[in-house]
Amino acid sequence: MSTNDGNGFPFFKLLVLTGAIFASVSSEFLPTGLLPEMAAELRVSESQIGLLVTVFAGTVVVSTAPLTVLTRRYSRKWLMVLLLGIFALTNVLCAIAPTYWFLLAARILGGLAHGLFWAVTGPYAARLVPKHQLARAISVTNAGGTLAFILGVPLGTFLGHALGWRFAFAAMAAVVLVFMVFVIVYLPPVSHLVPLATGEIPLPAHKDRSLPAVLIVCVTVVLVITGHNVFYTYIAPWAIQVGGVDEAWVSGLLFAYGAAGAIGLALGGAFGDRYPRGSVNLALVGVALSVLGLGAFGTDAVPIVIGMVLWSVFFGGVPALMHSRVLHSASERIRDLAAAWLTTAFNLAIGGGALLGGALLDGLGIAVLPWFAAAIIAAGLVFVLATDRTRIALHR
């Protein structure tokens, strides 16, 4: 049920969700910018600090669907408030962590909250708007994730370098608390449980008619996001070793990539509702060709900048388009579960892409990564084209 009262697009309410997602994603990836300082103080290797992100994502993969089932009957708004409170707590625990293992346990707690948070926020946004505004709404809320990479993680890194990594985590806890208050004050409760018709027998999720369509979207995400992360995870060393980019310019290159992704996200929101199939197909073609172009011509700074900007513009809207597609595909009764499975698919692909990319790097060298990435993304596009008619027929 939509809570849009007919007075227009609920932009401010969606921006509150955007801010909450910004705080969540910034918290997830904050250690990536503070590896040396955290490793030195806790007397562990940088790879062990990097493992904090991997463990976080792994926790999301194994916990999201079960926790979504366990919490299905609870208020979406107040569940969001609780989860944001847990995010704030985990950041405080990270800030005061006396040992590495204490820090690792705090990250596991954060991962438990993070997956469920994504499973709640997507369907919540869908209940604020009618179906024909879904892609636009999801694009607005997903901008929080994009902004986390453009502003949140770099700002947290700056604070960590200037005032210490513990202060960066404490500051992130304060940011999370601000958005928790915004959720309490400004977001309405929504009705998320679909009542049964008279005489209707409740069906388990595995018998829902829309389930195959949801699984098609999740498989698409696994293919496309795995291909993307095979290359993107190692983009900094690739740019330096293959492209000849000066190490001092890598942060600027990544900032340009993030800013271009914001453009892609805006385009996805603008055209995703009107042209849902065409937007996805064009985005995937563009991503595959851009990555292929980097593999073929990425031996100098200029083609690398052009290629990465194009890659990011085409990829920027893909996560929001996939969230929109899975919510369109799922019946009302399994929307929360569909969002949970999609979150699991994203995190499985992020971790799997990084592992596959690392194996290729060790076995064949870093120069092969864009070629393999383009091939996997192209396989995702072929899968989309082959299953589109089936998916559409299933959710009608």
Percent of the chain with pLDDT over 70: 91
Could you tell me the residue ranges of all domains in the chain?
11-192, 206-390
Tokens of 52: 């904090």
Hey, what CATH topology would domain 11-192 get?
Growth Hormone; Chain: A; (1.20.1250)
Helix, strand or coil, per DSSP, at residue 176: helix
Closest residue by Cα to residue 186 from 311, 9, 14? 14
Q: How many Å from the N-terminal Cα to the C-terminal Cα in the chain?
A: 18
Give mean pLDDT, residues 267-289: 89
Closest residue by Cα to residue 273 from 325, 342, 343? 325
What type of residue sits at position 5?
Answer: D
Segment 234-251, tens digit of pLDDT: 887 888 888 888 877 877
Closest residue by Cα to residue 273 from 340, 315, 328, 311? 328
Task: Select the more confidently predicted residue: 20 or 200.
Answer: 20
Query: Model confidence at 33, in pLDDT bands (50, 70, 90)?
Result: low
Lowest mean pLDDT among 129-143, 190-204, 280-294: 190-204
Give mean pLDDT, residues 227-231: 89
Whole-number pLDDT of residue 143: 83
Do 206-390 and 11-192 have the same topology in CATH?
Answer: yes
The CATH homologous superfamily to which domain 206-390 belongs is: MFS general substrate transporter like domains (1.20.1250.20)
Give mean pLDDT, residues 139-143: 83
Whole-number pLDDT of residue 49: 72
Does residue 196 have a pLDDT over 50?
A: no
